[in-house]
């Protein structure tokens, strides 16, 4: 008997009569079942969750029938609605133990690759790279004092040598919330202390590796394909921007991880909510009652989890607020289209009342509550910056707030003033328009102690007369250049085909990129693009999926496999080529210079 294919596998021969989805064996039997066994949804005991194979199989490819069809007279109301809301490919994604196992094994495989690229020689260089000079020392201060203290002159040299005597007890003015710095501090605590540069970067490396796993699993769920999910994970695993941020203790990698995790939770919420909607709508229709505005969907735990993650994202950098707004609207839009699909006549006001208003309260209040909770250490340490402002300035500020919150509010007004008026010149400042093609990448590290070497010292260091050592926050050019084109394709597919998957990846990019155009006059950098890098990867994978097709056209499938394979081979080769300048290898100057494909990269 032939093995059951993965949900993304399709027969290639358009002239035979093999079913697109062959019969699936019933669990615990040796004979084909008349239904694909799927997890039950909706109220307990409402239905078995089985989808008749007549809806998923026995569709001759010669007739070119869509395997997602929902017009079979043998379908129950519930099964018909479930197919309309989710589609057969999604329903079959985890229908067998083999499918579930392979979905995890392939995701873990690309995660392991990403981990090797991120953790190998993580201690190099043993210096504070770029803005590590702020966040690593502030993280150590949080561990030592419970708040960010000031450092005396020459603190960097002492700190790198394992001496923290330059840390004072006076509070330092900081401009970012504490979550990311606490995560760096946790990595330092677990990784061997502040004397170890590996410990400084441990949390970033873990976050970057987890992001690869999330992208692989999210891509699988979004595109209903284990193969495409694996491709998405592989692309993020080898991308330069993702690798550099995972090997540097900055905050933006945590912004990316929390936003990506929230997106994944909302994707799971979408599926769970649609399963509930199918079950409860079917119960109403089968009873002969009027559908009205449709049933309520109950408490949404995955949406709540997304709100917590978005609160943590906001508690790392304020740019997380845009992910909160965009993802909230995206989730409500999914609810509205679901109600329209099941036949709710006035679906827009129904979605507003049934879904949007409850979601607004839950998501916003949860995210804000989580954000305020991230300041717990600031609240509990009287010596923290501006902690006593309300006591020292009675009658000032937002007087109706309790004194601790009034002090926090005043602190936030100062942070807001900094972020909206930062215009100091910087050699690597970059307009956001060029971020998507990595036009002006940020040089994190290029020490003169290496580039100034000459003669025997240079030859001993790198085998040439002149040397370089660099950490350049440059995304894999092939991924980002093709990703820019993929975003245009996704936009076209969203407008012309109303493909929700295209809208989903575009929403992630819009949340992480578009708001920066409002602050283009500020001093901003291309490395901020790490926040939406996973969605660029997902957009590229989405377009590769379009090129591959659904498998029913053999020639298209063959062409798609050739194109996808070629893209992956080139991407991996380019990453191998650039890896030394992402990870601070000491190399000949000519080797470094040949990597500078554009003058704007220097």
DSSP class per residue in 3-23: PPPPTT-----TTS--BSSPP
Q: What pLDDT was estimated at residue 478?
A: 98
- CA dist list (Å): 545 to 228, 229, 230, 555: 7, 10, 12, 15
Q: Which letter, b or e, does each residue of 399-421 get, where b requires 16 or more Cβ atoms within 10 Å of its Cβ?
A: eeeebbbbbbebbeeebeeeeee
Question: Which of 241, 271, 252 has its CA nearest to residue 114?
Answer: 241
Summarised one tens digit per residue, pLDDT across range 418-476 is 888 777 788 999 999 999 999 999 999 999 999 999 999 999 999 999 999 999 999 99
Q: Would you list the DSSP string of 506-528?
A: HHHHHHHHGGGGGGTTS--BGGG
Q: Which two tokens stand for residue 506?
A: 């575009």
Residues 581, 595: Cα–Cα separation, whole Å: 8
What secondary structure letter does DSSP report for 25?
B
- For 272, what's the count of Cα atoms within 13 Å in the CB-facing half-sphere? 15
Q: Which two tokens stand for residue 27?
A: 């669990």
Q: Do residues 74 and 205 make contact, with C-beta atoms less than 8 angstroms apart?
A: no
Residues 224, 255: Cα–Cα separation, whole Å: 26
Q: Do residues 4 and 25 make contact, with C-beta atoms less than 8 angstroms apart?
A: yes
Q: What pLDDT was estimated at residue 304?
A: 98
Residues 559, 312: Cα–Cα separation, whole Å: 43
Q: At what angle do helices 226-238 and 533-548 cross, to 10 degrees?
A: 140
Q: What pLDDT was estimated at residue 13?
A: 34
Summarised one tens digit per residue, pLDDT across range 533-580 is 999 999 999 999 999 988 788 889 999 999 999 999 999 999 999 999
Residues 513, 532: Cα–Cα separation, whole Å: 7
CB-CB neighbours of 243 under 10 Å: 26
Phi, psi (degrees; rounded to nearest 5) at 364: -65, -50
Helix ranges (DSSP H) in 224-314: 226-238, 240-246, 252-287, 301-314
- CA dist list (Å): 383 to 140, 169, 397, 449: 16, 8, 20, 39
C-alpha torsion 288→289→290→296, nearest 10 = -120
Sign for the CA dihedral angle at 103, 109, 110, 111 comes to positive
Q: What pLDDT was estimated at residue 53?
A: 37
Phi, psi (degrees; rounded to nearest 5) at 599: -60, -30
State the DSSP H helix or E strand holding residue 213, giving kind and residue range, or none if neither.
Answer: helix 197-223
Residues 554, 11: Cα–Cα separation, whole Å: 8
Q: Do residues 584 and 445 make contact, with C-beta atoms less than 8 angstroms apart?
A: yes
What secondary structure letter does DSSP report for 36?
E
The C-alpha angle 256, 260, 264, rounded to 5 degrees, equals 170
Residues 12, 490: Cα–Cα separation, whole Å: 26
Q: Do residues 586 and 467 make contact, with C-beta atoms less than 8 angstroms apart?
A: yes
Q: What pLDDT was estimated at residue 73?
A: 66
Q: Which two tokens stand for residue 234?
A: 């592989």
CA 397 from chain centre, in angstroms, equals 38
What secondary structure letter does DSSP report for 52?
E
**Omega cis (within 30) before 125:** yes
Residues 33, 49: Cα–Cα separation, whole Å: 14
Question: Which of 170, 169, 182 has its CA nearest to residue 138?
Answer: 182
Residues 602, 589: Cα–Cα separation, whole Å: 13
Domain boundaries, the chain: 388-421
3-state secondary structure of 217: helix
Residues 295, 278: Cα–Cα separation, whole Å: 10
Q: Which two tokens stand for residue 476?
A: 């894999």
State the DSSP H helix or E strand holding residue 334, giving kind and residue range, or none if neither.
Answer: helix 320-342
Look-up: residue for tokens 């062959």?
Answer: 22
Q: Do residues 54 and 72 make contact, with C-beta atoms less than 8 angstroms apart?
A: yes
Phi, psi (degrees; rounded to nearest 5) at 94: -120, 30
- Give every residue of the chain whose pLDDT is below 70, as ranges: 1-73
- For 415, what's the count of Cα atoms within 13 Å in the CB-facing half-sphere? 18
């Amino acid at each position: 008997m032939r093995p059951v294919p993965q949900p993304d596998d399709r027969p290639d021969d358009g002239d035979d009569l093999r079913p697109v989805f062959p019969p699936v064996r019933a669990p615990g039997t040796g004979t084909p079942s008349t239904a694909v066994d799927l997890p039950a949804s909706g109220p307990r005991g409402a239905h078995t969750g089985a989808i008749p194979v007549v809806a998923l199989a026995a569709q001759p490819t010669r007739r070119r029938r869509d395997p997602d069809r929902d017009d079979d007279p043998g379908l129950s109301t519930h099964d018909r609605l479930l197919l309309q809301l989710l589609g057969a490919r999604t329903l079959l994604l985890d229908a067998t133990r083999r499918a579930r196992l392979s979905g995890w094994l392939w995701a873990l495989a690309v995660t392991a690759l990403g981990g090797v690229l991120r953790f190998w020689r993580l201690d190099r260089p043993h210096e504070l790279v770029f803005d590590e000079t702020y966040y690593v020392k502030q993280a150590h201060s949080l561990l030592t004092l419970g708040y960010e203290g000031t450092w005396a002159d020459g603190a960097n040299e002492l700190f790198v040598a394992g001496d923290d005597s330059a840390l004072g007890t006076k509070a330092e003015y900081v401009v970012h919330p504490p979550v990311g710095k606490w995560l760096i501090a946790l990595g330092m605590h677990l990784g061997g202390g502040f004397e170890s540069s590996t410990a400084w970067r441990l949390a970033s490396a873990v976050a970057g590796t987890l992001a690869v796993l999330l992208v692989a699993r999210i891509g699988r769920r979004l595109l209903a394909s284990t193969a495409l999910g694996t491709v998405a994970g592989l692309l993020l695993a080898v991308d330069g921007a993702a690798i550099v941020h995972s090997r540097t203790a900055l905050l933006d990698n945590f912004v990316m991880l929390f936003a990506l995790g929230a997106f994944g939770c909302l994707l799971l919420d979408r599926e769970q909510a649609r399963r509930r909607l199918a079950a409860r709508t079917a119960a109403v229709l089968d009873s002969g009652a009027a559908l009205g505005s449709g049933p309520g969907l109950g408490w949404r735990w995955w949406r709540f989890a997304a709100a917590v993650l978005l609160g943590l994202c906001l508690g790392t950098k304020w740019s997380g607020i845009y992910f909160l707004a965009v993802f909230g609207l995206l989730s409500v839009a999914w609810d509205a289209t679901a109600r329209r699909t099941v036949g709710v006549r006035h679906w827009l006001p129904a979605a507003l009342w049934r879904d949007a208003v409850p979601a607004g309260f839950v998501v916003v209040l949860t995210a804000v509550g989580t954000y305020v909770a991230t300041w717990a250490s600031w609240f509990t340490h009287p010596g923290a910056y501006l902690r006593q402002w309300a006591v020292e300035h009675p009658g000032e500020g937002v007087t109706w707030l309790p004194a601790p919150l009034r002090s926090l509010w005043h602190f936030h007004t100062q942070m807001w003033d900094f972020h909206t008026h930062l215009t100091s010149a910087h050699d690597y400042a970059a307009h956001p328009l060029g971020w998507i093609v990595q036009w002006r990448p940020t040089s994190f590290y290029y020490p003169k102690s290496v580039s100034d070497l000459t003669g025997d010292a240079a030859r001993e260091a790198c085998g040439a007369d002149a040397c370089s050592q660099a950490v350049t926050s440059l995304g894999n050019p092939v991924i980002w250049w093709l990703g820019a084109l993929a975003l245009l394709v996704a936009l076209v597919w969203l407008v012309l085909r109303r493909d929700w998957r295209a809208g989903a990846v575009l929403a992630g990019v819009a949340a992480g990129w578009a708001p920066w155009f409002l602050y283009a006059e500020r001093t901003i950098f291309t490395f901020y693009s790490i926040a939406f890098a996973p969605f660029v990867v997902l957009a590229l994978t989405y377009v590769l999926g379009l090129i591959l097709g659904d498998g029913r056209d053999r020639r298209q499938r063959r062409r798609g496999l050739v194109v996808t394979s070629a893209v992956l081979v080139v991407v991996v080769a380019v990453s191998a080529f650039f890896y030394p300048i992402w990870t601070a290898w000491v190399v000949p100057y000519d080797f470094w210079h040949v990597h500078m494909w554009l003058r704007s990269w220097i």
